[in-house]
Structure 1
C-alpha cells in the first residue's frame, strides 16, 4: 500500500506502479480535497485495511510505502500494530516538520490568505520531480520557463484550484499533527524500515532526519538518493531488492525470493564496474568436453546445476567481472555465495555501502549449507570459494595460495543433485596492489587491534566446527598500495560430472578423493594462467589503451595464443 504526500492525490508513485504491480498487490490511499478527517481518523481507516489483509494472509508481510506525510501514516500504523508483519519504505519522512520551512508557512497562510502562489512554489519544490522543480526555481529567479513546462502559471492555477488556501492550511495542520503523533510513538515501531532521504531537500532536513530515525528505530536502514521516486530513472523495486527488503514470508529467502535482473538493472551493474573492467580487460577461457581450451565461455554448460569452485582473490573483487561476462556471453546468471556479513544490517554485518546492494541485486546468497542445497536443487549456476575470507583477506606473501578445509564441503551435496563441478582459477587481482599492513601487522598496533576485535564480536561466525588455518577468518581490511593495473585472467577447467555418482560419493574416501582432485585442478588453472600471461602482449595497461584507442574502447583486446 502506498500513502499520499501533502497533495493528497497519491500521484507520487505513479511511475513506480507498473513495476511494483509485478510483485505486489498495490493499493493507494487517496484523500479527497474537501476531506477534513483528522490524522487519527485516517490512521484508523488505514488500520482497518491493514488488519483485514493481515487476517486474510497472516504469513505474508505488508509493505507500507509513504512519502513525507505518508511516512508519518506508515509509522503511526506500525506503532499501533506491532503484532503485524509490516515493512516500511519511507521517503523524506515529515517527522522533521517542526524544523522545516513549511512550518513557518502556516502563519503566512493565516495572515495572507489570498496570496498563495509563492507558497505553492516552495511546497511543490519539495514534492515534485526535476523538470517542475527547475521550472519553479527559474520563475523565482526570473528565468524563462524551460520547454519541459510550457505554461507554469496555468499549471499553478490548476493546483491552486485543487489546493485552495484553506485546504492547503488544513494539509499543513494535518502534517504538523502527523509529525507530532509519529514522533511520540517511535519507540513502539518494531517494523522493518527502509528510509530514503535526499541530501538536496531544501524544505526539510531530510538527511539529518533519516540518520536520526535510523538510530531511533531498532530495525532500520537508510539509503541516500539525489532524486525522489516519481522521477524517471528511479526504480523503487531495485532499491528494495538492493537493501535486502523484498521477501514473501516472515524471513527473507535469498534463493526463492530472488527476482531476476531486468535489462536496466544489468546495464546499471555493468556501468558500476565499467572502470574496473576497462582497466583490467578480463580474459575468459573455458574448456570444451574434448579438453580443448577456448578464448571464450563456450565450454560453460547452459543448463544447471553447475558449481564453479575456485580461489578467492584479494578482497574478492574477481566475482563481479565473472558474473558480468557470464551474462553477456552465455546469458547465464551465476549466484555468488558470500559471507553473511554482506547481507546483515547493523549488528552482525558491515556498514551499508553500494557494493552490498549490488551483490544482493545480482543474486548473491549468504554462505550456508542450507542455501547451497537450495541453489543446487533449483538447478542454479553457483560460485563457491572454499577458502572464504581466509583467501580474500590473505596475508603478505600468500598470493594465489589456497586455504581450503581438510575435508570435502561440497562434493556429496553436488552429487545429490547431479551438479557439474567446474574448477576455475582467477589471476591478476592479487597483483594490482601490494599489502602494506596485513592482519598480523595490524594486531601489533593497539588502536587497530581493538577495532578488529570489536568488529569480530559482532560479525556472524562461520566454520566454528572446524580447525586449521581456514577456520582463522577474522574480519579486517588489509591496507594495500595500488599498483599500475595489470590484467585479469579467468580459466574454467573441464566440467567434472557427479550425475549418477550419488551412491559412489557417499563413500567418504571417494568423496575426499574427488575433493582433492577439484583442489588440484584449481591450482593447475592458476599455474596455467600465471605462465601463459607472460606471453600476453597486452598484459600491461599501456598497450591495451593503445589497442583500444585504435580499435574502439568497446573492442575485445586480444591475449596470448592458446
Structure 2
C-alpha cells in the first residue's frame, strides 16, 4: 500500500524547496525553512466533489451555487487505514536526508472546497507527520491540510520548532486574514500549538489538542531517561511505555476497527492483523526512535512542558482537548480537566477507551468531533448556518442511535393531514418543498425530538434545522453536564441558537426549520401543565415566514404523561437547601431568554426535573394541514392580520393535541404489553397498528 501513498507540497507552501531529494524520495516534495510559494500543480489532478446544500437534502432540489456545503465522505467511501498503513507510508519519510523540519500535504487530502481553512498537523514524539492517516480523506474535504515532518536526526530545540510554526502561521494569516488557522497537535505537538497560541494571542487560531504533553512532569516518562542509559540499543524499544507510542491498543488500530460492532470474521481478521503488526511496529520504532533521538525527545518534552505551563495564561485561542482514558504514557484525563480550567475558551471530549496515539485508532472521527463541538468555521465568527456541514449517513445513524430506546419503548404513531383535511397514517401530508416552519408543542425534556427528526429524515428525506436554546451552545453550561459531549448530536443534526438572524438565514436557504414558541417554559413545565402552550403574545415567526413565502406546518404530540410523572418541579426545587447555587449557575445571564416578557412566558428558568418513570405508553404525532404564506407577504405586514394567522397556527396545534388525546383512548396497543405481544407474533420490525382514523 506504500506505493499508493503520494505526498505533495501544499499549494502556496510557505517554505522554500530544499535541494533535489534522492530518486527514492521523488514522489513527494521536501522543503527548507525559507518562505516561497510552492508549485501550484500539486493537487490539480484532483477534482472537487459536487457540493450540496440543505435544500438538496430536504427537498431534492438543485444545489445552490453560493454557500454550498461539501459532500462529506461516509465510512463506505473511505479506504480503511490502520497502523500498518501508517508504517508503510512512513518508511520513505524517515529515511535520513539531512533536511530540516518541513511541510508536506498528502494528495488524498486534495479534494477540498474553495476557501477551506488551513489545518496544520503537528505530530507527537514520533515526528513523522502521518498521525492523521485515518482521517486524511474526510478532513481533506473541508480543510487545506499540511503535515509537519521532523526528521529522525533533526535536533531543532522546542523553541526552534515553535519558530517554524509561528512563521508559517504569520505568513498564512497575511494571505488570508479573515480565515482561522487550525493547529492539530498530539502530545508534544499539542505543546507546540499552545506555545504558538501564547505568543500570538491576536491571531485567530483554533487548537485541537490530543493528549497534550503538558503533563510530562506527572508522567512516568520523566524517570525513564535514567533507565534508557542502562538499556542497550535497540532493546530500549522493548520498554513497554515506548511501544505505546504507536502500538497502543493494536486491535483498535487495525484497519477493520471502526468502533462499531464487528462481525466474527472481521474481528478475527482485525486480531490477526494487529498481531501481525506488532513486529513491524517494533522494527519501525527502532527506525524513528533510536536511542539517541529518544533521549533528545524526552529532554525536549521536559522543556516543552515547562515552557508551555509558564505561558498558559497568555493563550486566548479556542481549544478543544481530546483526552484518552487509557493513555499509558501521560495522565491525559486529569490533564484535560486542568487545562480546561486554565484556558478561557476550552472544551473537552473524553474517549474513555482511547490510548496515547488516539488519531491512529478506529472508532474516532476527528471531523465529526470538531463538528459536534461546534468548532468548524471558515471565518472569524462562527456562522451556524453557512458554516454547517451536513451529517454523513454514518453520523446520522450514530447520532440517532441514542433515541432508539424511545422507538422501542414508545412505538411512536405518525399521522399527517392532507390538503383536503383528511388525516392519514404516515407523513405523506408533510410537504417536500421548502422553506417550511414546523411549529408545535414542546414535550417535557424535548422527548419528542428523537422520533420527530429521525422519522422525517427516513420517511421524507427532510433534514430539520432546530432553533435551540443557547444553553446547548454555552461553554459554561457544558461544564455542568456529566458528559461534555451531551449536546454534540444536536449540533451535528443542525441545531442553531435561537435568534432572528439565524431564523432568517435558514429560511433564505430553503431549510425546514423546527420552532417551539413555548421554548424552555413548555419543555420544562410544572406539575399539572401537560400539553399547555406557553406562547408569547407577539406573532414572532409569522412575518419572517411570509417574507420567504414559507409553509407553516403546525403539529401536536402527546404521550409524555404515558412515560413519566413529575415528582419535583422548579417550584419544589427552589425550596430545597443550597439549590439556589445550582440555579444561579444554570440560569446565568448568557443563557437567559425573554427576560423582558411578563407572566408565565417570562418564566424561562432551566432546571433538572425529578421524574418518576411509568410503564411505557405510546407517543402520538399529528401534523396539521400545511398553512401557505405564498403571496401573503404584503397582507401579513399588517400587525392585526399577522396576529390572526399566529392565533390560527396556535389553535391548530391545540386541535392536534386534543385530537390525539381523544383518539389514543381507542388505541388497543397504547400499553406496552399488547405491543410486545404483537411484535412477538409479527416480528420486531413490524409496525404496530393503532386506532382507526
TM range (shorter): over 0.9
Compute the displacement of 1:383 (Å): 0.7
Structure 2 match to 1:141: none
Which stretch has the larger CA shift, 42-51 or 160-169? 160-169
Residue from 427, 442, 457 that aligns with 2:588:
457
Contact kept in structure 2, 1:214 and 1:222, CA below 8 Å: yes
> Tell me, what secondary structure is at the counterpart of 1:167?
helix
Question: Where do 1:52-71 residues align within 5 Å?
Answer: 52-71=171-190
User: What is the rounded CA distance, in whole Å, between the counterparts of 1:68 and 1:349 in structure 2?
Assistant: 24
Compute the displacement of 1:403 (Å): 0.7
User: What is the rounded CA distance, in whole Å, between the counterparts of 1:299 and 1:355 in structure 2?
Assistant: 33
Residue from 212, 218, 241 that aligns with 2:344:
218
Structure 2 match to 1:138: none
Question: Where do 1:330-349 residues align within 5 Å?
Answer: 330-346=460-476
Structure 2 match to 1:274: 404
Structure 2 match to 1:415: 546
Question: Is residue 92 from structure 1 mapped to residue 211 from structure 2 by the alignment?
Answer: yes
The total of aligned residue pairs comes to: 553
Contact kept in structure 2, 1:342 and 1:349, CA below 8 Å: no
Which stretch has the larger CA shift, 67-76 or 286-295? 286-295
Structure 1 match to 2:304: 178
User: What is the rounded CA distance, in whole Å, between the counterparts of 1:419 and 1:523 in structure 2?
Assistant: 21
User: What is the rounded CA distance, in whole Å, between the counterparts of 2:418 and 2:190 in structure 1?
Assistant: 56
Residue from 312, 331, 334 that aligns with 1:205:
331
Contact kept in structure 1, 2:559 and 2:618, CA below 8 Å: yes
Residue from 92, 99, 104 that aligns with 2:223:
104
Contact kept in structure 2, 1:114 and 1:165, CA below 8 Å: yes
Question: Is residue 374 from structure 1 mapped to residue 505 from structure 2 by the alignment?
Answer: yes
Contact kept in structure 2, 1:389 and 1:473, CA below 8 Å: yes
Question: Is residue 13 from structure 1 mapped to residue 132 from structure 2 by the alignment?
Answer: yes
Structure 2 match to 1:31: 150
Structure 2 match to 1:191: 317
Compute the displacement of 1:2 (Å): 0.8
Question: Where do 1:514-553 residues align within 5 Å?
Answer: 514-553=645-684
> Tell me, what secondary structure is at the counterpart of 2:591?
coil
Question: Is residue 438 from structure 1 mapped to residue 564 from structure 2 by the alignment?
Answer: no
Structure 1 match to 2:53: none
Question: Is residue 400 from structure 1 mapped to residue 539 from structure 2 by the alignment?
Answer: no
Structure 1 match to 2:436: 306
> Tell me, what secondary structure is at the counterpart of 1:122?
helix
Q: Give the alignment's TM-score, normalised by structure 1.
A: 0.95
Contact kept in structure 2, 1:343 and 1:349, CA below 8 Å: no
Contact kept in structure 2, 1:342 and 1:350, CA below 8 Å: no
User: What is the rounded CA distance, in whole Å, between the counterparts of 2:479 and 2:657 in structure 1?
Assistant: 31
For the aligned residues, what is the CA RMSD? 1.9
Closer/same/farther in 2, CA of residues 252 and 421 from structure 1, 3 Å limit: same
Contact kept in structure 1, 2:436 and 2:512, CA below 8 Å: yes
Contact kept in structure 2, 1:310 and 1:423, CA below 8 Å: yes
Q: Give the alignment's TM-score, normalised by structure 2.
A: 0.77
Question: Is residue 328 from structure 1 mapped to residue 462 from structure 2 by the alignment?
Answer: no
Question: Is residue 296 from structure 1 mapped to residue 426 from structure 2 by the alignment?
Answer: yes
User: What is the rounded CA distance, in whole Å, between the counterparts of 1:146 and 1:21 in structure 2?
Assistant: 29
- Unmatched runs of 5 consecutive residues or more in structure 1: 136-144
Closer/same/farther in 2, CA of residues 353 and 297 from structure 1, 3 Å limit: farther
Compute the displacement of 1:279 (Å): 0.8
> Could you report, residue by residue, the CA deviation over 1:416-469 in whole angstroms, capped at 9, with x for unpaired residues?
000000100011124311111111112222322343244323442212233221
User: What is the rounded CA distance, in whole Å, between the counterparts of 1:521 and 1:108 in structure 2?
Assistant: 76
Compute the displacement of 1:154 (Å): 4.5
Structure 2 match to 1:385: 516
Compute the displacement of 1:111 (Å): 2.6
User: What is the rounded CA distance, in whole Å, between the counterparts of 1:387 and 1:218 in structure 2?
Assistant: 33
Residue from 471, 491, 500 that aligns with 1:360:
491
User: What is the rounded CA distance, in whole Å, between the counterparts of 1:342 and 1:288 in structure 2?
Assistant: 35
Closer/same/farther in 2, CA of residues 447 and 521 from structure 1, 3 Å limit: same
User: What is the rounded CA distance, in whole Å, between the counterparts of 1:241 and 1:162 in structure 2?
Assistant: 33
Contact kept in structure 2, 1:425 and 1:492, CA below 8 Å: yes
Compute the displacement of 1:22 (Å): 0.7
Contact kept in structure 1, 2:558 and 2:660, CA below 8 Å: yes
Structure 2 match to 1:160: 286
User: What is the rounded CA distance, in whole Å, between the counterparts of 1:548 and 1:113 in structure 2?
Assistant: 66
Closer/same/farther in 2, CA of residues 285 and 244 from structure 1, 3 Å limit: same
> Could you report, residue by residue, the CA deviation over 1:190-228 in whole angstroms, capped at 9, with x for unpaired residues?
100000101111221110000000011111011101222
User: What is the rounded CA distance, in whole Å, between the counterparts of 2:574 and 2:565 in structure 1?
Assistant: 19
Closer/same/farther in 2, CA of residues 553 and 76 from structure 1, 3 Å limit: same
> Tell me, what secondary structure is at the counterpart of 1:15?
coil
User: What is the rounded CA distance, in whole Å, between the counterparts of 1:328 and 1:289 in structure 2?
Assistant: 22
Question: Is residue 123 from structure 1 mapped to residue 254 from structure 2 by the alignment?
Answer: no
Question: Is residue 50 from structure 1 mapped to residue 169 from structure 2 by the alignment?
Answer: yes
Contact kept in structure 1, 2:321 and 2:348, CA below 8 Å: yes
Closer/same/farther in 2, CA of residues 372 and 196 from structure 1, 3 Å limit: same
Question: Is residue 147 from structure 1 mapped to residue 278 from structure 2 by the alignment?
Answer: no
Contact kept in structure 1, 2:247 and 2:278, CA below 8 Å: no
> Tell me, what secondary structure is at the counterpart of 1:434?
strand
> Tell me, what secondary structure is at the counterpart of 2:360?
coil
Compute the displacement of 1:133 (Å): 7.8
User: What is the rounded CA distance, in whole Å, between the counterparts of 2:454 and 2:163 in structure 1?
Assistant: 48
User: What is the rounded CA distance, in whole Å, between the counterparts of 1:407 and 1:245 in structure 2?
Assistant: 34
User: What is the rounded CA distance, in whole Å, between the counterparts of 2:479 and 2:252 in structure 1?
Assistant: 38
